Amino acid sequence: MNQKKKAKEWIEDIIKQKIVKSIAWSEFSHHKRIRSGNFGLIFKAYWSNIYNDVVYKKLMISSDIQSKIWEAFKHELQIKIRTHSCENIVQILGINKSKF
């Protein structure tokens, strides 16, 4: 099974199990790039569902680092899911799979 298909299935599974919420891209507006981070770009946007600003990470995928991105993302997400109540850890509110 290729890496892209494996990643898609893992994400679909955590959404189905309600570990992470799927968020519609249309709920976000006023996107502003803040900086570059490891494996992607960091943005600030207004989320109409909570009537507040949030920060999101857009993963940049290229064929030469795709496997590394996937493993890093999966690891980061698993840690943040387990530590959701810790005030020193950035909370993951959901995931969006849209291409933009």
Residues in Cβ contact with 26 at an 8 Å cutoff, skipping those fewer than 6 apart: none
DSSP string, 10-37: HHHHHHHTTSS-B--GGGEEEEEEEEEE
- Indicate the average pLDDT of the chain: 78
- What domains can you pick out in the chain, each with its CATH number? 3-82 (3.30.200.20)
Helical spans, DSSP H, in 19-84: 66-82
> Is the pLDDT higher at 54 or at 62?
54
Cα–Cα nearest to 33, from 24, 22, 44, 49: 44
| Alpha carbon 96 to chain centroid, angstroms | 7
What local confidence, expressed as pLDDT, does residue 17 receive? 86
Tell me, what amino acid is at 81?
Answer: I
Could you report the per-residue pLDDT of 80-93, keeping only the tens digit for each?
777 766 666 667 77
